[in-house]
Structure 1
Amino acid sequence: MTEATRAADGTTGASVDVATEGARIAASIAHVVQGKDDVIRLALVVLLAEGHLLIEDVPGVGKTTLAKALAASVDASVRRIQFTPDLLPSDVTGVAVYDQETREFEFKPGAVFANIVVSDEINRASPKTQSALLECMEERQVTVDGVSYELARPFMVMATQNPLEMEGTYPLPEAQRDRFTARVSMGYPDPAAELAMLDDRATTDPLAGLRPVADAALVRALVAATSRLHVSEAVRRYVVALVEGTRRSPELRLGASPRAGLQLLRAARASAALQGRDHVLPDDVQELAVPVLSHRLLLGGDAAVGRRTTEQVVTQLLGSVPVPRGR
């Protein structure tokens, strides 16, 4: 255990280890989300990178359960927003209400004023309502009637969405997708995990028995420790080369933004910290390139006709960009 992967707990002043605490949170989530260790780990990476997670898949595979299990494992404020076609932006951000007694406007906070915001089926709301999340996801604040209100730290949006082929969905705007650090697909559970789920949930809900194993102060300390991990110039150049490669690709009409490079590096730091290292390796970047970059990209016409996917384009790019050696 190294100093770069340790941090002072803001409550007790004791030293905490990112890898150890991350494993405790992951084990707590795994009690509910069985057989999805890679998905759970990616959710923790996004949490420690101070990012936001987009969970996309068909209905019924556990998207909302993953979000609620992470929220239940961290003793912090949690709000859930069920996105529907009639949801208004003010329901998300809040609204200024006129108080007749004081003759002044009083701000009523919306659902985003929490540490973890579970945005369920985000692509069932109108683009106007989806856009209400843009400011708070990037700047950690909400502006209503010209007044800005800071959001608490940590602040994480965990959004679930159904594939666009499902009835009653709207595509997320490009600016909205770019604010999500990573996208993950749950996939169907393997037969053993599905059988265990049938046994465990016949009479009880595992979420009801889940108890927090961390709190907001501890998460803030873990985030601070993660941000101090060493990243060599060679690894930083590698990240830039990958991002630039998406902009030059003839298969894409929209490449990755500078924000994508920043979030890829933050996610790589979080991945290294969860493995107990004090430095980032090219392997960390390679591991996260697909979930961090692919949802931000738009295919060109020929690639779309050829049924290519943005995940395939990023994977091909990883094979063509030279990998730096060493730390």
Structure 2
Amino acid sequence: MQQSYRDSEVSIHPKPPVVWGHSFLATLEGLGVCVCGEQRLLLRAESLPAATRAAAAQALSACTAERQLFQGFAASTKPDKELQAIQEGIATAAYDILCPAVLACNSVQDLSDIRDTLLLEMAAVQSSNEDSAALLQKLYQLVMGLGAWLLQQIYPPVLHALQLVLLLQQQRIGESSSEGVSPAAAAAAAAAAAAAGTAAAAAADPFDAACSDVLAACLSSLDAAAKAVAAAKLPLLPLLLHAPAATPTTVEVTLMVSLFLIKNLIFLHDVLSSYESRFIKKERQIDFPGQQQQQQQQQQQQEQQQQEEQQQQEGESAAAQNLLLHRLQQQQQQQQQQEQQQEQQQEEFQNHNKSV
């Protein structure tokens, strides 16, 4: 069916229009050539972010060309199953090409640039009028995988740097303390505290632990950098460049580690904020199964409470009715006893009159 409408398109137009003249995207063989071109583009590219953007743009243009071809043949703006299958194939091929290349990258800067590039491409796809839902879904899937990989690349070095900052701070506090605590003891205490914090973070939820550690790292690194800049009375990095054999002081090492933390925490903030916004959006717009169960349980509890209240009210009303019936019975018995006493008195009075 797919080849037939393409053949009929060629027979209707013996001389192809200009819009299709320089493109093989109108045929399945042309799509294969497009996929091979994307692979060569990624292999030969000097800049992976630029190649990723070009590959995503090429996939979008392929989806657009297929849509235009289908509209020209079918004379209808409504998508068909064949067009949807072709666009899904293009999006899947683009994802299969981009995903291994992106996940093989270890550069934090390149990964961050690729993520920003894909977000821009997703915004372009959303703002376009073409039906590119399949490509948008695959790009979103690639962005989420890239964010997870970027988090794995950044988080361990930042955690180690944070532990180093804590050790240096404990060492500096131990050296300046009046109690004379040894630097080795301070370093051991800091290492134990860092290990305990790491174990607690591992036991907790990974997302919550990452957010907590990032917040603590931000506060610690900014505080350490401010103290180091205020305490340093000499140029730090130029001095190390001119005198590489010189041993850096604790202040210098703390400042350099803090600057490293601040740089990487910017990337971490972007990644975690995207995850957080995604979770908040889902929580506000989409009902999780757990939330549905909780709502059902709450509704059941409310219904049970209402039933218990109704039963209690019915029980109270029944008790009140029983009490009224008991009182009425007692009154009737008393009246009967009074009537019997009156009858006895009358009989005695009559008997007395007869005897007289």
Determine if the TM-score, normalized by the shorter chain, exceeds 0.5.
no
Q: TM-score range by the shorter chain?
A: under 0.3
Q: Which is strand-richer, 1 or 2?
A: 1
Higher helix share: 2
Instruction: State the TM-score, normalizing by the size of structure 2.
Output: 0.22
Query: Which structure's CA Rg is the greater one?
Result: 2
